[in-house]
Structure 1
């Protein structure tokens, strides 16, 4: 699984708590749990979950970013070129003796991509080949619902709201002419489809950021020395959130700044 090149720097960063921010949306866009659907799940790594750190979403050390080991790598169909990063799922093992008694329900967050393996058949090793819906869990998460010796188990899953403590987090990377922002700790539907940045300089307007990869967005602009505000739209619900004054004029690359607002 490919890890973001800047994830280590991001998670070595300090956390700045913003004192400003207002959430705005024109409709009741609260995300609600979806219906249960069949799929399959495997796992990667060992009990330490060391191999799950980093990942294609760019969250880096998942302990430091608040996601822990209850995580999953998504097949291409669910990953959606990175727009599936941060989404949350409940699942339970069903229909096999490897499932634990009572079919316990686990909750995981999408932090990585399970890439296709075109050398193997989709039903015999190429579990993440499109159009299959598949979850490659951390081993600790898998072991909460099934005997790990099974390797692969049938599951029922559903998208659920992401429950997060605190506001959205913005990890800043880049250089004086390029701002790269990793969006983390996203509540509600957990996903982002559009993002804008606004500097605090005179005459500054909202600048639309382009999707880089995973959970990162970029702007090619010189924004140093200006307070930064961000506006984000959820991929699933269309809800828009305004996080005003998240980073102060003295913001620095390599730091993570937290707003007081989040999706619902």
Structure 2
């Protein structure tokens, strides 16, 4: 049973140490220091079909969530959980409970927040308006929902907890805009998965604070064409910082995604 929603969101990261990112990436990583939250009761529905094609894009701005590392184990969050996009990229373990539709053999599945499930004020919160505040609700991609319950259930009670995100490869920066206005989507963030603040440094500039645009995107109104670019990213959850040096070369272009290898120190 799909609820009505379109994508608007943002990703964010978390780690105990400052990380330095250099060059290309390999392997899986999850910054240490972030502990799972307690289990909490909520509800879950699903949207789309088995192909999860309708989950592409999304409010966080991750584009093709499969090629960008998130797969089809994703969910749209009710606005109570979405936090105006600052929950983009966060990870949750979800298990079906107290329903005959639950699959007993699969205790839980792990999903990444990539979308927003907006309120549907024309429906009662307990009858169609599943994502109306103050409800905590997960509108899951159908392949993810089918790991915990039979799809015919439509909606099931679940227990969920926030967990660290384990990512393959490095942090990814997708460029839009132009040489005077740089819009960057931050993806594939390990640990807490979320971003609260971002800065960019050209090879000829100091660190420049970037403002939050929407979802997982940040923007800088500065002349950065022809300069190699480094980034500094701060976690929404932990307030700690990750450094990404020389992410993009001086001849960088919009429409491209640059990946950085994560090394912890």
TM-score by length of 1: 0.88
Q: What is the Cα deviation at residue 219 of structure 1? A: 0.4
Listed as ranges, the matches of 1:122-201 within 5 Å are 122-201=125-204
Alignment match, 2:238: 237
1:136-168 CA-to-partner distances (Å, cap 9, x unmatched) read 000000000001000000000000000001221
| 3-state secondary structure, aligned to 1:186 | coil
2:205 is the counterpart of 1:228: no
1:174-202 CA-to-partner distances (Å, cap 9, x unmatched) read 0222100000000000000000000001x
Distance 2:43 2:7 in 1: 24
| 3-state secondary structure, aligned to 2:143 | helix
Distance 1:214 1:32 in 2: 24
Distance 1:113 1:171 in 2: 20
1:71 and 1:141 in contact (8 A); partners too: yes
Distance 1:248 1:261 in 2: 18
Q: What is the Cα deviation at residue 20 of structure 1? A: 8.0
Distance 1:31 1:89 in 2: 13
Q: What is the Cα deviation at residue 96 of structure 1? A: 0.7
Q: What is the Cα deviation at residue 260 of structure 1? A: 1.2
- Aligned alpha-carbon RMSD (Å): 1.9
Distance 2:213 2:262 in 1: 23
Question: Residues 120 and 192 of structure 1: is their aligned pair in 2 closer, same or farther, counting only changes over 3 Å?
Answer: same
- Unaligned stretches of 5+ in structure 2? 9-20, 26-30
Listed as ranges, the matches of 1:1-264 within 5 Å are 1-3=5-7, 19=23, 30-201=33-204, 204-261=205-262
- Unaligned stretches of 5+ in structure 1? 5-16, 22-27
Q: What is the Cα deviation at residue 218 of structure 1? A: 0.3
Distance 1:73 1:213 in 2: 15
1:38 and 1:154 in contact (8 A); partners too: yes
1:172 and 1:253 in contact (8 A); partners too: yes
> Structure 1 segments of 4 or more deviating over 6 A?
none
1:94 and 1:155 in contact (8 A); partners too: yes
TM-score by length of 2: 0.88
| 3-state secondary structure, aligned to 1:251 | coil
| 3-state secondary structure, aligned to 2:244 | strand
Distance 2:59 2:112 in 1: 13
1:163 and 1:187 in contact (8 A); partners too: yes
Distance 2:263 2:41 in 1: 30
2:69 and 2:168 in contact (8 A); partners too: no
Question: Residues 103 and 166 of structure 1: is their aligned pair in 2 closer, same or farther, counting only changes over 3 Å?
Answer: closer
Q: How many residues align?
A: 244
1:94 and 1:103 in contact (8 A); partners too: no
